[in-house]
Amino acid sequence: MSENSTEMRATESAEQSRWSMVGKDPWTMPIEKIDLSHPGIWHTNEFLPFLERLRKEDPVHFCAESAVGPYWSVTKYSDIMEVDTSPHIYSSEPTVGIIDSYEEYTLPMFIAMDPPKHDDQRRIAQPVVAPANLKRLESIIRERVCNILDGLPVNEEFDWVKHVSIELTTQMLATLFDFPFEDRYKLTFWSDAATAIPGAGVVNSNEERWAAMEECLQVFTGLWNERVNAEPGSDLVSMLAHGEATRNMPPMEYLGNIILLIVGGNDTTRNSISGGVLALNENPAEYDKLRANHGIIPNMVSEIIRWQTPLAYMRRTALVDAELGGKQIKAGDKVVMWYASGNRDEEAIDRANEFLIDREKARQHLSFGFGLHRCMGNRLAEMQLRILWEEIMQRFHKVEVVGEPERVYSSFVKGYTHLPVRLHPLN
């Protein structure tokens, strides 16, 4: 480990303890000091009561000081909907992350664009994950799922994250991009590098992150060059290379959209795969319901995605002064929609803090967002989860969690780095 990264870690620790909310009492601390942006309480799984207090006492909450500067936290379902469906007030530019990155490190991608440019680019990429195309992918997905599940050790402990969640989503990404299968782990690495906090285990610095992004661009430029002169294919690279609005895009924009599509399909699906196993273990009556009726699986998939909320927030920037929840937002203010909070808002969702695989209106959750930017991979994610659980139920009486899960050190990516499990086959 280099001198630099050791220094960086030491600095990180100091930063961590200065801004961290870990150990603070969510109900008695001064409410104006609540800062959801710091990864600490997300990593230790202590975030829920902080969200609850804000929903109750200050639903549109201004945090004046944080490691990412001042910002508004929006925690109720209805206010989040208002922000998400008002792109003319709350812009997705220049970034949907809470950190205001320096310009040279900001990749242009359509998740962080407003109309009309957003619409032009999304329209090109969207067909690759349209349901008609997904129908064709279903059999490959099922084949891959069966292959993975049949290769797992039975009655002994292993890490579900590594052997199932990451493995399955990585294979899916390689398929979508028609990426060399044996190199598929690069997709996972690039995706993790794009979103990770330096020092948290993926990259040690922004420079390292950038080096990874450059490698990604190099490889994908190679694929572009291969496919631009060939017949248009149904993979994402081919679609971008042939699409009217995207075939002349500058390299940084191409990289941005590639990263967007890799990230979109990477840790979100991964963490829902892990999250579903954990949720069923923590709610054994629900696992019983599932065993008794496999037909509940599609509904359960939506509930898992709500419960896990794989991306805790999305950020917007106010273009004009606006009123929200009785507060005055100023033009230029950073506004953060905490999906992880809205999804537990009992005023919008019945018994929101219960994991109920047969709940009605299970699809009415915030995890995919709403409005123009609503996750375009949502049906693909649901399909992967549905097929996975269909095949799990054909093989195992229980996927048992046998140790403490480890969570991602991030207030954005809400997921698991390790989940120790043991498989119990059907009798």
- Residues making contact with another protein (CB under 8 A): 81, 84-85, 115, 119, 122-123, 126-127, 130-132, 361, 363-364, 368, 370-372, 374, 376, 379
Task: Return the residue matching tokens 């490691």.
Answer: 67
- Residue 94, classified by CB atoms within 10 Å of its CB into exposed (0-12), middle (13-18) or buried (19+), is middle
The residue among 403, 400, 396, 395 whose CA lies nearest residue 420 is 403
For residue 60, what are the β-bridge partners? 74
Nearer to another protein, 247 or 363 (CB): 363
Nearer to another protein, 216 or 335 (CB): 335
d(CA 211, CA 320) in angstroms, rounded, equals 37
Shortest gap between Cβ of 302 and another protein (angstroms)? 9
Neighbouring C-beta atoms of residue 164, cutoff 10 Å: 25
> Prior bond to 180 cis, omega within 30?
no
Shortest gap between Cβ of 51 and another protein (angstroms)? 21
Shortest gap between Cβ of 296 and another protein (angstroms)? 17
Query: What phi and psi, each to the nearest 5 degrees, are found at residue 17?
Result: -75, -30
Shortest gap between Cβ of 214 and another protein (angstroms)? 32
Question: Contact, 173 vs 186, CB < 8 A?
Answer: no
Shortest gap between Cβ of 373 and another protein (angstroms)? 10
Shortest gap between Cβ of 368 and another protein (angstroms)? 8
Question: Contact, 173 vs 187, CB < 8 A?
Answer: yes
Nearer to another protein, 131 or 326 (CB): 131
Question: Contact, 301 vs 331, CB < 8 A?
Answer: no
